[in-house]
Structures are given as structure tokens and as C-alpha cells.
Amino acid sequence: MKSLTLLASAAVLSIGTLALADGHTDANPAVKARQSHMQLYSFNLGILGSMAQGKVDYDAAVAQNAADNLAAISSMDETNYWVEGTALDTTDGTKAQPAIWENMDDFLAKQDGIAEASAAMAAVAGTDLASLQGAMGDLGGTCSACHREYRAR
């Protein structure tokens, strides 16, 4: 119990320190959260992409799982980790372009785009390989559409 309390106060302390810091900050928990979100996209999209390209055999259950995960992840509300003031011009360890915060409506529209494409993939991924392949272009396109404008190379 005591160690739990200690752990909790340590967490509060480190969040407080970050909030107070100005100028360049690093190890921002919001940056880590959104990059982790992206890693989950990448992992699940990779499974579908490998099947679409014939690098691994099509497996309906595995494909459906990956597509369902993408649909779930992309429907999350990401507002809390695209925090104003955490673009690459002020924060270390991020590739997020300041343009995100100048065009938040468009950025959110691109999030809606991936949610829609993921739902479309989830509707067919477990059917057969051809249907999965058919949904792949739209889905992959939503990643690059956002990265092109809002992620540094």
C-alpha cells in the first residue's frame, strides 16, 4: 500500500515538473502516448499488408483480429495527446509538425478518415484475401495522407 502511494506521488511529481518546464522539453508523456498509438497502427497494418502482398498466408481469423484492432484504435479520442506546444519546434523526440495545430480541423478529418477506412477493412478482412486486398489501398492511403502533411521525415 505504502509503495503504491509513493508510486502515485512520483507520477504526480513528474507530470508537475513537465507542466512547469518551458522551452524544450523531452520525454513528454503525451508524445510517448501518441507514438505508441502509431506503433499499434503499424503492427496491425503490417499483418494485413503482409497478407495482401502474399508474404504470409491469408488467415481469416488473424486478419479479422488485426482489422478489428485498427478499427478500435482509430476510433479512440486522441485529443489528450496531441497537446498544443508539443510540436517538433519546441519538444525533443517528436516528429509532429507545428502545422497540426494550425490545421486542427484537417488533422481531425484525417483521423476520421482512418477510422472510416479501418471500419471498411474490418467489414471484409475476414471474408477472403481478395476483399482484404481491395480494402488495403484506401487504408494505407490514410496513413500516408496524414504523414505527408503532419509528420516530419
Name the site residues for ligand HEC (rule: CB under 6 A).
31, 34-35, 38-39, 41-42, 45, 94-96, 107, 110-111, 114, 142-143, 146-147, 150-151
State the minimum distance, in angstroms, from the CB of residue 105 to ligand HEC.
12
What count of other Cβ atoms lies within 10 Å of the Cβ of residue 81?
A: 18
Q: Amino acid identity, residue 120?
A: A
- Quote the CA–CA distance of 32 and 114 in Å, as a whole number: 20
CB of 54 or CB of 98, closer to ligand HEC: 98
**Of 9 and 144, which has the nearer Cβ to ligand HEC?**
144
- Beta carbons within 10 angstroms of residue 134's beta carbon: 15
The nearer residue to ligand HEC, 16 or 93, going by C-beta atoms, is: 93
- Is residue 97 within 8 A of residue 87, CB to CB? The reply is yes
Return the closest-CA partner of residue 28 out of 97, 98, 95, 92: 92
- Minimum gap (Å) between residue 149 Cβ and ligand HEC: 8
| 11 vs 43 by CB, closer to ligand HEC | 43
Residue whose CB is less far from ligand HEC, 49 or 126: 49
CA distance 59 to 34: 29
Minimum distance of ligand HEC from residue 28's CB (angstroms): 9
Q: Report the nearest approach of ligand HEC to the CB of residue 4 (Å).
A: 30
Report which of 86, 97, 104 is spatially closest to residue 29, judged by C-alpha positions: 86
Q: C-beta of 98: minimal distance to ligand HEC in Å? A: 11
